[in-house]
Amino acid sequence: MKTKNNRIVVLWTSGDPEVAEKVCLMYTEGAKKNGWFDEVVLVVWGPSAKLLSENQMLQDKIKTMQEQGVQVEACKRCTDMYGVTDQFKKMNIDTKGMGDQLSDYLKEGWHSLSF
């Protein structure tokens, strides 16, 4: 069903690899691949940043999702805390302050989902 607001931001905060693989990334990829939403943004925030930096399988999944058109962003304060900012930049993840950005998504009426 096409609607005016056909955009979703998925907030991934969990450091649990099973939640990442079997829920968060699976849904996010499906949302883009199956056309459930026109625009799909995945925000890596908190413990998920550490998990992603250490897990090659999840890194590969993120790369595939980017190739499918999922926009991936990360909280710079979080990546700095975990010492992975340079690694995220090499993965072509837009690393920036996310407080204002997430607030803007919500004010603009984006659908949101958190894991």
Domain 7-114: homologous superfamily in CATH? DsrEFH-like (3.40.1260.10)
Structure-block tokens of residue 51: 């998990």
Query: Is the pLDDT reported for residue 30 higher than 90?
Result: yes
Residue range 78-88, pLDDT digits in tens:
999 999 999 99
Query: Is the pLDDT reported for residue 113 higher than 90?
Result: yes
How many angstroms separate the first and last alpha carbons of the chain? 24
Closest-CA residue to 27 (of 46, 40, 45, 14):
40
Structure-block tokens of residue 72: 């991936």
SS3 73: strand
Query: Is the pLDDT reported for residue 42 higher than 80?
Result: yes
pLDDT value, residue 3: 59
Predicted TM-score of the model (pTM): 0.95
DSSP single-letter state for residue 92: T
pLDDT band for position 55 (cuts 50, 70, 90): very high
- C-beta separation of 58 from 20 below 8 A: yes
Query: Is the pLDDT reported for residue 10 higher than 70?
Result: yes
Provide the residue ranges of all domains of the chain, joining segments of one domain with +.
7-114
What is the full DSSP assignment across 20-33?
Answer: IIIIIHHHHHHHHH
pLDDT value, residue 5: 81
